[in-house]
Amino acid sequence: MRKFFLIAAGWLLTVVGLVATFSPIPIPLIGIVPLLIGCAILSAHSKRFRRALQRLRHRFAFISRRMESLHHRMPRNVRTMIRRTNPRALFRLARMRRRHHHHL
């Protein structure tokens, strides 16, 4: 039951963060913080979300760079999420697959 409430809170924070990020509120980073906290909660409790976030960071490097630049200002659970969803493993896998197909 606790996990259900945590996942619901994570989704709520993520959606509120997305809406606030793209709304014309004159406060900088007003939506980024709840968005990242929601993603941190979801990635801690959902392997599927964690993998999807890792693939998103792999596909869109600017998102990954932005997350890394905010790393030192965030709470510990967000820093852990940024570290756990690092797309480096996916880059390595893509490189290995290219090398394997190249030799065939």
Residue 26 has pLDDT above 80, yes or no: no
Left (φ > 0), alpha (ψ -120 to 50) or beta: where does 4 sit?
A: alpha
The domain in which residue 27 lies consists of 2-103
Residue 71 CA to residue 102 CA, distance in Å, equals 37
45 within 8 A of 7, measured Cβ to Cβ:
yes
Query: What single-letter amino acid sits at 15?
Result: V
pLDDT digits (tens, 9 = 90+) for 34-82: 998 999 999 999 989 999 999 999 899 998 898 888 888 888 998 999 9
Q: What is the pLDDT of residue 100?
A: 75
Domain count, the chain: 1
CA distance readout (Å), 5 to 1, 42, 78: 7, 11, 19
Whether the predicted model's global pTM rises above the 0.85 cut: no
